[in-house]
Amino acid sequence: MTLSVEQVSIQSRERKIVDNVSLSISEGEWFALVGQSGSGKSLLSQAIGRMLSANLQVKGNIFFNGEDLLTLSSKQMRTIRGRKLSYIFQDYQGSFTPFRTIGQHFQEYQKAHGILDAKNRKIKSIDALASVGLDATFYNRYPFQLSGGQLQRVSIAMALLLSPDLLIADEITTSLDSVLGHRILELLAKKQQETGCAILFITHDWRYVRRYANRLAVMKDGEIVESGGKHRILDHPKHEYTKQLIQAAPTIGQGLPSGLQEVVKV
C-alpha cells in the first residue's frame, strides 16, 4: 500500500485553505501530520477520503494503491472507505447513534460493505471488541453506557474491522486526559503491529509524535513547511516555525503520574 498526495490544494470561494501540499506514506508506516489548529491538516485528511463539503474545491492528485482517488466515482469511493481506507475522528462520540447498541453499529457497518451473513457479522464484531480489550457484553450496550475511553476503543475496533490498508486518526486524543491518551495510542500501536496497516496521525501533540511516528510533516497556514524522518526534525529542525513548536511542546512524560512517566519514554 502506498498513499501519494501530489500538489493538492483546497479552496473555498473566499480563499485557498491548503496550498500545493505533497506527502507520501508507505505500507506499515506511522506518519504524523503536525500543526496548530487551523493549519489545514484535518481538511487535507478529509480530502484523501473525499469527505469534504461540496463548497470546497480540491485540485491535484491523491494516489492510493495506484488509483487517483480524486477521479473515482462516489460509488467507487464508498467501496474504498471503510474497507481499504478507514477513519477515527476527534469527535468519536458523534460517530455513534445514542439509541443503537454497539452491536447494531457493527452490524450496519459490515452490511454496508457487503458482509451479508448476520451470524458471521456478530462473530467478527465480538472478536473485534475482544481485540481492544472489551468483552462480549459490550456488544449489547449503548454508547451512552460506555466511558470515553471505552467508546474510543470501540472506534478503533470498528475502524480496523475490515483490515484497511490505511487508517487516518484525526486528533483522537484531544478529548482524553494524558493517561488515557497514551493508553489509547499504545493500543493503536499494538493493533498496527498486528495488522500491518499504515497510519496517518493528525495531531498537535509532539509527545505522541516523538513516541510513535516514523516520519512527519509540519503544516502552517495550509502549507507543509518541513517534512522528513522523526529524529532529524526533532533533533535538527530547520524551519523557524518547527523550532518554535518543538520548544513550546511538553516533554513526553509531562502530565502523567510518576508511575507512568517511565513507561512512555522513548
Boundaries of every domain in the chain: 1-84+166-183+199-266
Q: Which CATH number fits domain 1-84+166-183+199-266: 1.10.3720.10, 3.30.70.120, 3.40.50.300, 3.60.9.10?
A: 3.40.50.300
The reported pLDDT for the residue numbered 21 is 97
The reported pLDDT for the residue numbered 26 is 95
The reported pLDDT for the residue numbered 263 is 42
Annotate the chain with three-state secondary structure. Answer: CEEEEEEEEEECCCCEEEEEEEEEEECCCEEEEECCCCCCHHHHHHHHCCCCCCCCEEEEEEEECCEEHHHCCHHHHHHHECCCEEEECCCHHHHCCCCCCHHHHHHHHHHHCCCCCHHHHHHHHHHHHHHCCCCHHHHHCCHHHCCHHHHHHHHHHHHCCCCCCEEEEECCCCCCCHHHHHHHHHHHHHHHHHHCCEEEEEECCHHHHHHHCCEEEEEECCEEEEEEEHHHHHHCCCCHHHHHHHHHCCCCCCCCCHHHHCCCCC
The reported pLDDT for the residue numbered 1 is 61
Torsion-angle region of residue 148: left (phi > 0), alpha (psi -120 to 50) or beta?
alpha
Low-confidence ranges of the chain (pLDDT < 50): 255-266
Whose cell is 506518519? That residue is 31
The reported pLDDT for the residue numbered 122 is 96
The reported pLDDT for the residue numbered 251 is 63
The reported pLDDT for the residue numbered 65 is 92
